[in-house]
């Protein structure tokens, strides 16, 4: 079959929307999904700085949602017509996958970032027969259709706004999962979120839903205003005194802190903002060394990395949609939609901070 997709052919070039070819339908354990919408995540854009580790040409996109049109075999647990949210890939049989920690799959980097599944890879090409990198994050969903392992897909209520649900598979999953899974935030806890982008604001919403007091730190006034509407206490980033302000605002510091920025300076401020025995989680990939300043890790404070919100997508995605239906996780307020043909505009708006979460609509509609 032939269909439209956004192809990245060189790390420094814009995306080109063109026709691609899928030579065969789904194999055993796979599903073919007609994409209704796909979020744009900074992990997609980081391919440009991957140093060649992420192979090109490729169709990126890993926050897809859509309708199952065909299944491979009888063991997928899904049927044609099911509405699904697509999440990250995992092998399903390593120690961590078997232990309900698929984000720490032994093959996570190979499957999601640096080549994807090699089985039947040659099925996916451009119209000249040139192979496209096989399934970014198990999806390659900047496209009209995506061929994915069934274990990547989570069935959702068909009454939900399907075209907006894709970011629940990664960005919103990561922020909310950090709060609900990694920290286990509850009533009486306090949380400081450094960076009020898609992941950070998902954490803000999840913390409020869990009954915690939340502080949001960002340098963009518009992001802080949005965080305040989502029930966070806004704190602008300043060169000095940031942790002191958080300590005063929270009456002695926070139980937890989440850094989404990867900034060494802000990570040290986050550590200083913690109460004794407080925990700091990092979700951004660090680009260099992380110097920890003297005194920031004393009194039982701890720092650790969080991948994909420690989530089992099949459990967390339904929880988040239920919170949305109850008016307690209004993720749709963070989204702006773009036709797939406008993917380069969406990338510019994402990079400049004009939009929190772009969602690309393959058929060009703007809900």
Strand-pair partners of 52? none
191 with 115, same domain: the answer is: no
145 with 81, same domain: the answer is: yes
Instruction: State the average pLDDT for the chain.
Output: 93
Give the number of other CB atoms < 10 A from CB of residue 314.
16
Residue 64 domain-assigned? yes
Question: Does residue 185 surpass a pLDDT of 50?
Answer: yes
107 with 155, same domain: the answer is: yes
154 with 179, same domain: the answer is: no
> Quick one: tokens of 306?
């969080």
User: Which pTM was predicted?
Assistant: 0.94
CATH number at residue 288: 3.40.50.720
Residue 138 domain-assigned? yes
Residue 50 domain-assigned? yes
18 with 150, same domain: the answer is: yes
> Quick one: tokens of 53?
């580790």
Tell me the residue range of the domain where 6 lies. Answer: 2-169+330-361
Higher pLDDT, 49 or 129: 129
As for how many domains the chain has, the answer is: 2
pLDDT tens track for 283-330: 998 888 899 998 899 899 999 999 999 999 999 999 999 999 999 999
Q: What is the DSSP letter of 139?
A: T
- Please, which pLDDT band fits residue 118 given cuts at 50, 70 and 90? low
Bridge pairing between strands 124-126 and 16-22: antiparallel
Q: How far apart are CA 114 and CA 118, in angstroms?
A: 11
96 with 60, same domain: the answer is: yes
Residue 325 domain-assigned? no
pLDDT tens track for 24-81: 889 899 999 999 999 999 889 889 887 667 889 999 999 999 999 999 988 899 999 9
272 with 349, same domain: the answer is: no
184 with 286, same domain: the answer is: yes
Residue 367 domain-assigned? no
**Residues 222-250, mean pLDDT to the nearest whole number:** 94
Question: Does residue 198 surpass a pLDDT of 50?
Answer: yes
Percentage with pLDDT > 90 across the chain: 82
Strand boundaries in the chain, DSSP class E: 2-7, 16-22, 30-39, 64-71, 83-86, 124-126, 145-149, 153-155, 190-194, 213-218, 233-236, 254-259, 274-282, 302-305, 335-339, 357-361
57 with 90, same domain: the answer is: yes
145 with 191, same domain: the answer is: no
Residue 301 domain-assigned? yes
52 with 112, same domain: the answer is: yes
156 with 9, same domain: the answer is: yes
């Amino acid at each position: 079959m032939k269909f439209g997709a956004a192809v990245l052919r060189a790390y420094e070039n814009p995306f080109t929307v063109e026709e691609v070819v899928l030579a065969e339908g789904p194999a055993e354990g796979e599903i073919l999904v007609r994409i209704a919408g796909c979020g744009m995540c900074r992990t997609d854009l980081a391919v440009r700085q991957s140093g060649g580790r992420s192979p090109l040409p490729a169709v990126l996109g890993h926050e897809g949602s859509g309708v199952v049109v065909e299944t491979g075999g009888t063991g997928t647990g899904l049927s044609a017509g099911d509405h699904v949210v697509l999440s990250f890939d995992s092998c399903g049989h390593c120690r961590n996958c078997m232990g309900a920690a698929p984000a720490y799959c032994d093959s996570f980097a190979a499957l999601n970032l640096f080549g994807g599944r090699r089985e039947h890879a040659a099925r996916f090409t451009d119209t000249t027969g040139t192979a496209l990198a096989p399934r970014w994050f198990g999806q390659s969903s900047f496209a009209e259709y995506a061929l994915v392992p069934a274990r990547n897909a989570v069935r959702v209520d068909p009454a939900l706004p399907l075209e907006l649900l894709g970011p629940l598979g990664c960005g919103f999953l990561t922020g909310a999962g950090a709060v609900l899974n990694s920290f286990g935030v509850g009533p009486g806890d306090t949380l400081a979120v450094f960076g009020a982008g898609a992941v950070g604001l998902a954490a803000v919403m999840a913390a409020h839903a869990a009954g915690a007091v939340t502080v949001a730190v960002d340098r963009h006034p518009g992001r802080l205003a949005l965080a305040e509407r989502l029930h966070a206490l806004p704190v602008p980033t300043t060169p000095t005194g940031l942790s002191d302000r958080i300590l005063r605002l929270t009456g002695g510091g926070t139980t937890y802190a989440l850094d989404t920025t990867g900034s060494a300076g802000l990570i040290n401020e986050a550590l200083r903002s913690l109460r004794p025995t407080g925990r700091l989680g990092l979700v951004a990939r660090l680009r260099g060394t992380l110097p920890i300043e003297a005194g920031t890790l004393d009194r039982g404070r701890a720092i650790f990395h969080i991948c994909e919100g420690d989530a089992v997508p099949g459990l967390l995605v339904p929880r988040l949609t239920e919170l949305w239906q109850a008016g307690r996780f209004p993720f749709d307020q963070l989204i702006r939609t773009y036709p797939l043909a406008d993917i380069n505009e969406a990338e510019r708006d994402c990079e400049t901070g004009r939009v929190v979460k772009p969602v690309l609509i393959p058929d060009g509609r703007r809900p």
